[in-house]
Amino acid sequence: MEDKKIGWTKIVVIGVMCMAQSFPYYLVNSTVPTIFRAEGLELESFWAFSLLTIPAWAKILWAPYVDSYGWRKFGRRKSWILVCTILGAFSVMTLATVPPSPATLAPVIGVLLVHMIIMQTQDIAVDAYTLENLKTHERGIGASVKVIFETIGEAAALGGLMYIFTTVTFGAANGWVPMAIAAGILLMLFTTPVLIRPEPPMAADIAARRAAGDRPRISKFIRRNDTPFIAGLLFVGGFINFMLPALLGVLLVDKNFTLLEVGSILAVVTPIGLPLGAIESGTLATKIGLRWK
């Protein structure tokens, strides 16, 4: 009989890792566009920030490679997570060298695009690590805890990073430098627990398929019967996740709110519904299941 015990330690560790991703994610997707609007960037130029969404929908092209390879001695998933965490922290800290202004939009977008490619690669490994660590009966609760931790990270990123930008000075400059450095440090700090925790071995059935040469392929995913449903959910979720955070701060700046006020409002308002939805969806997934039978 399958053990129905909930592994709360690993669920919390996974939640903390997902929270770590929130700091640079909301810096890129919300805080930076808001700051650029406050610095005078015209709305006609905001299309450039849409380029940063490309790695999110294009990562399916290199996801099979990430899924197939890794350093087994350290952990197939953890090896990708470690490398991407270091490179992701370094790339977001590099942002500190390019101060925000309409004239620096191109180099900032260039830095952030590299950063997003790295972080989306990390996200592939994080999702795989999550699925492989959670047993079937833990996935509903695990999904809820994951979203709750991400909400904490979102609030801290939207409010905390904006607070650093508006109140902390670096020589004669504003808080752009310490804000970028803080995002990188937080990413590394909260990813550390999952890097310390041993990674479980590959499931026996998956190991057997890999040994027989059966590797993940995009064509196999496309041929699945449930692919249209999954793709639809991903499209709707991605549309909301990338559209709302990028627009809300800009709209508030246009309503003459200060950056500190914008950060405070977003930190309180935008995460309100996520914990409630996470608890409800996790409960339903646990009681009903992930698909109708």
Residue with the bigger pLDDT between 78 and 200: it is 78
Cβ atoms of residues 235 and 108 within 8 Å: no
Cβ atoms of residues 67 and 7 within 8 Å: no
**Which token pair is 267?**
């930190």
pLDDT band at 169 (very low <50, low <70, confident <90, very high): confident
Number of domains in the chain: 1
Asked whether residue 1 is domain-assigned, the answer is no
Count of positions (residues) in the chain: 293
3-state helix, strand, coil in the chain (%, to 5): 80, 0, 20
**Which token pair is 186?**
């937080």
Asked whether residue 141 is domain-assigned, the answer is yes
Q: What digits encode the pLDDT tens for the residues 83-138? A: 999 999 999 999 999 989 999 999 999 999 999 999 999 999 999 898 888 887 88
Pairwise CA distance, residues 200 & 249, whole Å: 41
What residues have CB less than 8 Å from 233, skipping those under 6 apart? Answer: none
Q: What is the 3-state secondary structure (H, E, C) of 57-114?
A: HHHHHCHHHHHHCCCCCCCHHHHHHHHHHHHHHHHHHHHHHCCCCHHHHHHHHHHHHH
Which pLDDT score is estimated for 222?
A: 73
Residue with the bigger pLDDT between 230 and 137: it is 137
Which pLDDT score is estimated for 168?
A: 83
Residue with the bigger pLDDT between 210 and 168: it is 168
Pairwise CA distance, residues 118 & 178, whole Å: 21
High-pLDDT (> 70) share of the chain, %:
81
Asked whether residue 246 is domain-assigned, the answer is yes
H/E segment holding residue 232: helix 227-254
pLDDT at 150 over 90: no
Pairwise CA distance, residues 35 & 223, whole Å: 43
pLDDT band at 53 (very low <50, low <70, confident <90, very high): confident
Which pLDDT score is estimated for 95?
A: 92
Which pLDDT score is estimated for 287?
A: 65
Pairwise CA distance, residues 279 & 177, whole Å: 37
Pairwise CA distance, residues 42 & 37, whole Å: 7
Q: Which amino acid, 3? A: D
**Which token pair is 197?**
């925790």
Q: Residue 207 belongs to a domain with what CATH number?
A: 1.20.1250.20
The DSSP secondary-structure symbol of 272 reads S
Q: Which of 238, 229, 237, 236 is nearest to 292 (CA)?
A: 229
| Domain extent for 91 | 8-288
pLDDT band at 283 (very low <50, low <70, confident <90, very high): low
What residues have CB less than 8 Å from 122, skipping those under 6 apart? Answer: 21, 80, 81, 84, 85, 88
Asked whether residue 25 is domain-assigned, the answer is yes
Which pLDDT score is estimated for 235?
A: 72
Q: pTM of the full predicted structure?
A: 0.84
High-pLDDT (> 90) share of the chain, %:
35
Asked whether residue 108 is domain-assigned, the answer is yes
**Which token pair is 95?**
């942002």
Asked whether residue 202 is domain-assigned, the answer is yes
Please give the mean pLDDT across all residues of the chain.
Answer: 83
Pairwise CA distance, residues 146 & 142, whole Å: 6
pLDDT band at 241 (very low <50, low <70, confident <90, very high): low
Asked whether residue 41 is domain-assigned, the answer is yes
Pairwise CA distance, residues 293 & 290, whole Å: 10
Asked whether residue 118 is domain-assigned, the answer is yes
